[in-house]
Amino acid sequence: MELEKYFRENKLPHIWCPGCGHGTVMSSIIRGIDKAGWDPNKVVVVSGIGCSSRAPGYMDFNTLHTVHGRAIAFATGIKLANPELKVIVLTGDGDGAAIGGNHLIHACRRNIGIKVVLFNNYIYGMTSGQYSPMTPEGSLATTSPYGNIEPPFDLCELTKSANANFVARGTVYHTRPLISYMEKAFAKDGFSYVEAISQCPTYYGRRNRLKSPVEMLEWQKKNSVDIKKAADMEPEELQGKIVTGIFADREKEEYTARYDRLISEIQGGKK
């Protein structure tokens, strides 16, 4: 597959550490875009701030590297201004679930046609390893040197309850399903959320006795449970597991289409 055309080769080499999972997430997104067959001039990739949010810099589309936690707000404005555009948000678990969490739930609620890919490495990578709202209980971080005592969000359950049209979770170990979730998410008109479990060997792995990127990938392999199998498991059995698969797949009317319909109704005198 000829994927080089989607990259800004003059921006390489990238800044990610050896063994970081973010490059695999980026390549899965690129494959999803390729499969969607979109005109690159109509694709807008928006990110916040973080190691994950550096990805759009390497991707040859219309790209915006915005401010921490606010990528969805920028993306919402872009989609409202020009609903024809294919708008993808790239965010991290800190960027998207902490400072940007409020934007995320409201974008789901509106079902606005943007596609959010959240790179979940369980930590704030760029700022040297503070815990995030996705860090598992007991994990060590610079801000939890005795172990994190806060339960993490399950953002797939949260986005599903908040009305997202499509919700899925995959891992960088299982690249084929991850790519298929990107394809399905990008094919939707409404709001899509794909969570990609990624690894940060530098700040999460090292502190949490996962000694190498390979060990972190093996951890993803060993701990992943398909959503269908998870449905028959007890909550205690699912502790510490990564539930993967499609959590929601709906066909509700997309927000800008709904808005256009309202305007036509008003102009046509139906309201």
Ligand X SMILES: Cc1ncc(C[n+]2csc(CCOP(=O)(O)OP(=O)(O)O)c2C)c(N)n1
Interface with ligand X (CB under 6 A) = 49-52, 68, 92-95, 119, 121, 123-127, 132, 200
Using alpha carbons, list the distances in angstroms from residue 116 to 96, 151, 267: 9, 23, 33
Q: Which is nearer to ligand X, 197 or 200 (CB)?
A: 200
What is the phi/psi pair of residue 4, to 5°? -55, -35
Q: d(Cα 165, Cα 112) in Å, to the nearest integer? A: 9
Residue 93, contacted partner among ligand X, ligand SF4, none, CB below 5-8 A by kind: ligand X
Among residues 121 and 139, whose Cβ is nearest to ligand X?
A: 121
SS (H, E, C) 207-233: CCCCCCHHHHHHHHHHHEEEHHHHCCC
Nearest residue by C-beta to ligand SF4?
125
16 touches ligand SF4 by CB under 6 A: yes
Mark the segment that binds ligand SF4 (CB under 6 A) among 12-20, 26-34, 60-68, 130-138: 12-20
> Out of ligand SF4, ligand X, none, which partner does residue 33 contact, by CB within 5 to 8 A per kind?
none
Position among 69, 125, 177, 190 found at the interface with ligand SF4 (CB under 6 A): 125
Helix, strand, coil in percent for the chain, rounding step 5 = 45, 20, 40
Rounded to a whole number of angstroms, the minimum distance from the CB of residue 152 to ligand SF4 is: 17
Other CB atoms within 10 A of residue 31 CB: 20
Interaction of residue 245 with ligand SF4, rule CB under 6 A: no
Q: Is 190 in the site for ligand SF4 (CB under 6 A)?
A: no
Under rule CB under 6 A, how many of the chain's residues touch ligand SF4? 12
| Cβ closest to ligand X, residue 92 vs residue 170 | 92
Could you tell me which stretch among 198-206, 218-226, 241-249, 255-263 binds ligand SF4 (CB under 6 A)? 198-206
Exposed, middle or buried, 91 (CB in 10 Å: 0-12/13-18/19+)?
Answer: buried
Instruction: Tell me how far apart the alpha carbons of residues 54 and 65 are, in angstroms, rounded to a whole number.
Output: 7
* Token pair for 159: 């986005």
